[in-house]
């Protein structure tokens, strides 16, 4: 199976926004096997991709996840962002050329 990314943001709603939330299919499959006893079919992966925002529990959990990572970015002074920042600056300097 291809280990492509599934991005849970409908294209028609992007406007000028960037996609940030992505999941590796291998992570989804690991979760499926651990919790449901088998891997998902391609059809089931497609359904997940198109139903993520319609599932209220999943949407609420995604908001909790965002809260946690935003808190870390804004408030956790013990995190060393040096390598992450280098990637950002390299990408943005390449895009401006």
- Look up tokens 């950002």; give the residue: 88
Give dist(CA 94, CA 53) in Å, integer: 33
H-assigned helices in 1-97: 25-36, 42-51, 56-75, 82-95
Q: Tens digit of pLDDT for each residue in 71-84?
A: 999 998 899 999 98
Please give the Cα distance from 35 to 58 (Å, whole number).
16
Checking if the pLDDT of 1 tops 50, the result is no
Structure confidence at residue 59 as a pLDDT band (50, 70, 90)? confident
Enter the DSSP assignment of 23: E
Contact 64, 21 (CB under 8 A): no
């Amino acid at each position: 199976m291809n280990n492509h990314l599934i991005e849970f943001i409908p294209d028609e709603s992007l406007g000028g926004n960037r996609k940030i939330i992505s999941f590796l299919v291998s992570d989804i499959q690991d979760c499926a096997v651990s919790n449901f006893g088998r891997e998902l079919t391609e059809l089931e992966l497609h359904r997940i991709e198109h139903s993520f925002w319609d599932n209220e529990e999943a949407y609420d959990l995604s908001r909790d996840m965002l809260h946690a990572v935003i808190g870390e970015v804004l408030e956790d002074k013990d995190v060393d962002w040096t390598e992450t920042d280098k990637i950002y600056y390299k990408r943005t300097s390449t895009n401006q050329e």
